[in-house]
A = this chain, B = another copy of it.
């Protein structure tokens, strides 16, 4: 197979972790006789510095033409705490999601046998957790009208959902559930929000198309609680953009290491793969960041092109590195800490 992949390293530790994912992907490609064509493009603060725009048109063209996008992270501290900044790296992220039509953010949450005890949660609560949160990514309050009134003394944001947006997200959810635990939980705030009532209505109407999937409806506040109390109770969760933002980050605590959690953002034409950790500026340039989340995001990419053995090979070598202690300082616990690049090299050689 020939794959054209747009490579958006972004800010902070982005470039370093992306490098390792490229090494590992190239090694897999070689082993299984595929050809990967990487096309780098600018995004985030790096793009603002270069061309004044966090998601430049040239970058969009590269992504739109590619078979998939591998993404690092964006964000830079000099834009934080500056509510008045006109151009912010995050805007690039939102623009990218919208222009590429990345409507479904897929975030698996699972535990690694060798790392279960690193979680702030007790082992018996989390061991065997295997859930997916499917977050709507191009609608809701992220993209509704917003502004100020009354000389700036009143601010508003509009949370809007259209039936088709909910339907296409829910359809992905039902289909994923069918291939997994056959349980779908729609998370909303239907006791308050009209948009949530439309979510519930829409999903309820689809239930009969998927008689084998057991569907439940829960309020977001209750789920924020239950996710921690008993994550094993969930299989596939579907939810709106803002709720998904909060719940996916919350769920990332379960595994005990953000540095390990991959994600994908699915569009109709092209999809994007990225680690869920951010740009982690404190570690940038030090060759100490954990590259595994990005490497595992590449595994999700292969899987989506139906290259299951390839994906499995990546996951297997990641597990091997964890078992043998070839890990960065966040996981080394007093033993030798490997550099980001050393972990990448080791994975590429051992695949």
Contact = CB atoms under 8 A, between A and B. Distances in A.
Interface of A: 81, 83, 88, 90, 94, 120-122, 125, 141-142, 144, 146-148, 150, 152-164, 189-195, 197-198, 200-201, 217, 220-222, 224-225, 228-230, 242-243, 245-250, 252-253, 258
Contact of A222 (B121, B193, B249): B249
Nearest to A151: B163
Given A81-B217, A242-B189, A156 B160 contact: yes
Nearest to A164: B153
Contacts of A94: 192
A180 B222 CA distance: 29
Nearest to A81: B217
Contacts of A81: 200, 217
Copies in the complex: 2
Contact of A229 (B190, B193, B245, B253): B253
A243 B155 CA distance: 16
B122 A195 contact: no
B141 A162 contact: no
28 contacts: A81-B200, A83-B200, A120-B122, A120-B229, A141-B192, A141-B193, A144-B156, A146-B194, A147-B194, A154-B161, A154-B162, A154-B163, A154-B198, A155-B161, A155-B194, A155-B198, A156-B160, A156-B194, A157-B193, A158-B158, A221-B246, A221-B249, A224-B249, A224-B250, A225-B250, A225-B258, A228-B250, A229-B253
A349 B246 CA distance: 45
A160 B148 CA distance: 9
B192 A90 contact: yes
A144 B193 CA distance: 10
Contacts of A152: 198
4 closest Cβ contacts across the A-B interface?
A155-B198, A224-B250, A221-B249, A146-B194
A198 to B, nearest CB: 4
B83 A201 contact: yes
Most interface-central of A161, A192, A250 (chain B CB within 10 A): A192
Contact of A163 (B83, B90, B153, B248): B153
A230 B253 CA distance: 11
A155 B197 contact: yes
Contacts of A141: 141, 159, 192-193
Contact of A157 (B159, B222, B225): B159
Contacts of A197: 83, 155
A42 B224 CA distance: 30
A10 to B, nearest CB: 15
A101 B10 CA distance: 46
Contacts of A162: 150, 153-154
A199 to B, nearest CB: 8
Contact of A228 (B122, B200, B228, B230): B228
Contacts of A163: 153-154
